Structure formats: C-alpha cells, structure tokens
C-alpha cells in the first residue's frame, strides 16, 4: 500500500494510455445505452454501471474511491454535504422505533439532526459524554439500539475520542460505530485501524480546504458482520422488495452498506454532489497531506501563544502538553490533530463579539478548516439553538471562540490575534 500522501495524489483514478491525466468531469445527468436489456440489469443491480447521476456518477465515484483508499475502507460514496453523509450513515440502518447512542460533544448541526429531525422520524437517541465511564456508556444502550455515533475530534470542543472505549461498547452490543473524521482527516487519523466500522466526512472542510465546495463522504470498512446480527438489521439482511428482492449483505459482501445507501437513500433523497464540485474537491485532495502538516504546525504555535497570554481564560488544543486530551491524541493521532483551537474570552458575549470584530486578517465565518484563518463564536451561531444545559453537554461555553488556523505564516496569525486582544481585552 502506498503512503497516504502518495494516495492523496495518485489514488482513485489511473488513466489508461492516451487518457486524461486528471480525472474527467462527467457533467451529465444521464448515460446512453444501446440495449434495453442492459438498462434492465443496471436497475436490477445485477450489473455495474451508470444510468442517472442522482444515484451515481463516474466523477463522484472516482473521488469517492480516492477517499476510500485514504481511509483504508472497502467502499465509499459522496454526498452533497457532511450533514447528508451523517444522516445517510445513520438512516441506512435505523428505522422508526430504533435507537442511537451518540456522543454529546458533536457539531451543533449534527446534534440537531439526531436530536430533533430524526426524533420526528421515530428514531430516539441517548447522548453520552465522551468522557463517560465504560459503565455509563454501557447503560446508554437499549435493546433497539442500532448504532453508535461520535466525532474523532469534536467540533468545536476539541475532545479527542477514546476509540477503544466506544468501539468496545458498540461491538459488545452488536452494533456498528460510525465516526465523523472531518477534523483530523485520514492524514492524522484512520479510525478503521482502531476498530471503527463506518467513517463520515464533511469534505467541505479540510478535504476541499479552500471554502469552495460543500460536500460529504461515507466510507465503510466492510468489517461489520451484518449477517451475524441479522435480526437487528433487516434492511441489509432480508430481501429488498424495492430492488427485486436483493439482499445486500448476501449479494454485495463488503460493499453492502454503501450499495444500500446508494440504491435506497440516494435514489429517494437525491443528495448527490454536482460532478463539478466533486472534481474540484478531488483536485484539492492532492495537497491535503501538505496542507494538514502546515495547519497543525500553525495551530501549535498559535495555541502556545494563547496559552502564554494571561488575558485568555483557557486554551484547548490537543497538541498542548497538559491539555486534557493530549495523551489520548498522542495515542490515536501521533502525527498531529488538526488546525482548530478553542479558547475562552472573559467578559461575556459582548467581549467575545468585540474581539472577533477587531480581527483584520482572520475572517469571521461560519466555516472552519480551510486555507484561510477564520474564527467563529459557536454559542452565538452554530450552537445558538442549544440550551445552556445542552451547550455544557457539548463542551461549548458562552466564552468559547473557535479559531481555525489557515496556512498563512503563523506569525501573521499571531499578530492579528495580538492586535485584537490589545484593543479589546
């Protein structure tokens, strides 16, 4: 297997003689065939191919194959957003009347997806602290639990997941664990190596890395034995009447989960990315390994600067010695974590807002993890809809600033922080 930085550049697409060196953009809704019988086989899922971009598209699949190779998975698909990826990953195995166990320290939009929208669909959830004891985690499971969901590094609390604890609990209860690996990316963390079953990404973030394309990805390790828990997952282990009686776990092996998500959910919800967006993101993936190294180096320098300034209440960054998650990060992400820092600003909401308003180079943006440094006040924006109790459970205080260090010179990021702090704090 190639090194992952080589896979970033070479993975997912190998041109033939005289073919385009870069993956082609198949900007088409439909595909022509000369045989009605062949089209019938495509719709029966008995033959591979393309018939409508709402389900699959060659450009999307080439980029998905690269991400799959980077994560070390068996099959992958792209979605129109990270939210769609998380929804598909859960809804692919959950029905009305089922239950999810999820970390409470997750992105606010994902929390609402699970806590509000999926509850309306009859799917309940028990949220647990990522720092819970194994006994507390075990107590969260119910007979109808179908999945565990967490983030490898939580957004924006920067809690590093204890993979061993959560993987063991999920597998002890016969369910897969799904981990959103957006922040570290497969450059710094490959969850499948720690027993995770399914990985999701908001490719909008570091994978695109330039704030240009919203997108998501689901990667299946192919390791969860659906047939061993056939009674829990009838959607995968019994015939699908909407697709001529195929039984995904029997007919598609390690590709069962992604095939079902494509054939059912993408067919019915249509959350497919535009091929052009996938192509752009695929081009940006080629520099991911180089960019992640710079993001992490910059964040380390900025975190050390903030930690040394008495005007800052606290700093959370897993790369800082003494950080609560420093040792966990060293265990699971020895080469670095991400370029995001959380820190506390004393003085209440007005002070936090004033600090952000005084930034010159650092942008105020509802975004994170791209080439340009940006900052956000989560309690007033992405997590604004959460109660104070829910904010505490998510590790998002009203004083928290989320700073995403870009790939500019670290000294310039620090200089912008310093001048804003001098003006406000």
Q: Is residue 412 part of a domain?
A: yes
300 & 415 share domain:
yes
Q: Is residue 167 part of a domain?
A: yes
218 & 331 share domain:
no
Specify the residue for token string 């209860």: 173
Question: Which pLDDT score is estimated for 393?
Answer: 74
157 & 204 share domain:
yes
Largest alpha-carbon pair distance within the chain? 73
- pLDDT tier at 76, thresholds 50, 70, 90: very high
Q: In sequence order, what are the beta bridge partners of 323?
A: none
Say if residue 156's pLDDT is above 80.
Answer: yes
Which of the listed residues 264, 283, 302 is the one where a domain comes to its end? 283
Say if residue 83's pLDDT is above 70.
Answer: yes
Show the domain range for 320: 293-424
Q: Of 38 and 118, which is predicted with more confidence?
A: 118
Q: Is residue 249 part of a domain?
A: yes
pLDDT average, residue stretch 13-40: 92
Question: Which pLDDT score is estimated for 395?
Answer: 72
384-423 per-position pLDDT tens digit: 777 778 877 777 788 999 999 999 999 999 999 999 999 9
324 & 211 share domain:
no
Q: Is residue 2 part of a domain?
A: no
339-395 per-position pLDDT tens digit: 999 999 999 889 999 999 999 999 999 899 999 999 999 887 776 777 778 877 777
3-state secondary structure 220-243: ECCCCCCHHHCCCCHHHHCCEHHH
242 & 326 share domain:
no
Question: Which pLDDT score is estimated for 228?
Answer: 98
182 & 65 share domain:
yes
Total count of domains within the chain: 2
253-308 per-position pLDDT tens digit: 999 999 999 999 999 999 999 999 999 999 999 999 999 999 999 999 999 999 99
Q: Is residue 1 part of a domain?
A: no
In order of 28, 47, 69, 331, 414, the CA distances from 50 in angstroms are 11, 10, 22, 42, 50
99 & 168 share domain:
yes
Q: Is residue 12 left, alpha or beta, with left meaning phi > 0 and alpha meaning psi from -120 to 50?
A: left
Q: Please state whether beta strands 99-103 and 124-128 pair in parallel, antiparallel, or not at all (unpaired).
A: parallel
264 & 374 share domain:
no
167 & 236 share domain:
yes
Q: Is residue 405 part of a domain?
A: yes
pLDDT average, residue stretch 201-229: 98
Q: Which three-class secondary structure state does DSSP give residue 129?
A: coil
Helix residue ranges per DSSP H, 92-227: 108-112, 118-120, 134-139, 163-172, 185-188
Q: Tell me the helices (H) and strands (E) count for the chain, helix number first.
A: 19, 12
CATH of the domain at 346: 3.90.1150.10
Q: Is residue 7 part of a domain?
A: no
- pLDDT tier at 124, thresholds 50, 70, 90: very high
137 & 192 share domain:
yes
Predicted TM-score of the model (pTM)? 0.96
Question: Which pLDDT score is estimated for 262?
Answer: 96
Rounded to a whole number of angstroms, the distance between the first and last alpha carbons of the chain is 51
- HSE of 259, CA atoms in CB hemisphere, 13 A: 26
322 & 249 share domain:
no
CATH of the domain at 148: 3.40.640.10
- pLDDT tier at 41, thresholds 50, 70, 90: confident
Which of the listed residues 283, 314, 329 is the one where a domain comes to its end? 283
Say if residue 198's pLDDT is above 80.
Answer: yes
CA atoms of 86 and 179, how far apart (whole Å) = 9
Question: Which pLDDT score is estimated for 321?
Answer: 95
Q: Is residue 5 part of a domain?
A: no
274 & 311 share domain:
no
Question: Which pLDDT score is estimated for 386?
Answer: 73
pLDDT average, residue stretch 135-144: 98
Q: What share of the chain is helix, strand, coil (3-state, %, to 5)?
A: 40, 15, 45
Say if residue 193's pLDDT is above 70.
Answer: yes
- pLDDT tier at 239, thresholds 50, 70, 90: very high
- pLDDT tier at 1, thresholds 50, 70, 90: low
Which of the listed residues 239, 257, 283 is the one where a domain comes to its end? 283
In order of 50, 203, 255, 406, 419, the CA distances from 371 in angstroms are 35, 14, 34, 5, 21
């Amino acid at each position: 297997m190639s090194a992952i930085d080589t896979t970033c550049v070479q993975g997912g697409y190998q041109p033939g003689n005289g073919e385009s060196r870069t993956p082609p953009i198949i900007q088409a809704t439909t595909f022509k065939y000369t045989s009605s019988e062949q089209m019938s086989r495509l719709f029966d899922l008995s033959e591979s191919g393309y018939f409508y971009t709402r389900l699959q598209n060659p450009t999307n699949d080439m980029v998905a194959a690269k991400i799959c190779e980077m994560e070390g998975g068996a099959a992958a698909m792209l979605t129109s957003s990270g939210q769609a990826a998380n929804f598909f990953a859960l809804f692919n195995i959950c029905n009305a009347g089922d239950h999810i166990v999820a970390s409470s320290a997750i992105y606010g939009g994902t929390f609402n997806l699970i806590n509000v929208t999926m509850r309306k669909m009859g799917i309940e959830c028990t949220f647990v602290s990522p720092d819970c004891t194994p006994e507390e985690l075990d107590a969260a499971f119910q007979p109808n639990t179908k999945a565990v969901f967490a983030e490898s590094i939580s957004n924006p609390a920067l809690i590093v997941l204890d993979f061993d604890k959560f993987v063991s609990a999920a597998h002890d209860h016969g369910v897969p664990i799904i981990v959103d690996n957006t922040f570290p990316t497969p450059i710094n963390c490959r969850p499948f190596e720690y027993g995770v079953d399914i990985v999701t990404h908001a490719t909008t973030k570091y994978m695109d890395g330039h704030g240009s394309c919203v997108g998501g990805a689901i990667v299946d390790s192919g390791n969860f034995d659906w047939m061993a828990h056939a009674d829990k997952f009838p959607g995968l282990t019994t015939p699908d009447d909407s697709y001529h009686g195929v039984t995904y776990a029997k007919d598609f092996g390690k590709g069962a989960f992604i095939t079902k998500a494509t054939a059912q959910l993408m067919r019915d919800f249509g959350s497919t990315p535009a091929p052009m967006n996938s192509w752009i993101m695929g081009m940006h993936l080629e520099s991911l390994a180089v960019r992640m190294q710079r993001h992490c180096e910059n964040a380390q320098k900025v975190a050390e600067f903030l930690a040394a300034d008495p005007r800052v209440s606290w700093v959370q960054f897993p790369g800082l010695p003494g950080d609560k998650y420093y040792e966990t990060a060293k265990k699971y992400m020895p080469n670095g974590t991400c370029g995001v820092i959380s820190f506390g600003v004393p003085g209440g909401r007005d002070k936090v807002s004033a600090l952000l308003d005084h930034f010159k180079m650092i942008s105020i943006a509802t975004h994170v993890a791209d080439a340009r440094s940006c900052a956000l006040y989560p309690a007033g924006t992405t997590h604004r809809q959460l109660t104070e109790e829910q904010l505490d459970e998510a590790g998002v205080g009203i004083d928290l600033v989320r700073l995403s260090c870009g790939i500019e010179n670290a000294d310039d990021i620090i200089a912008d922080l310093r001048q804003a702090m001098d003006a406000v704090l």
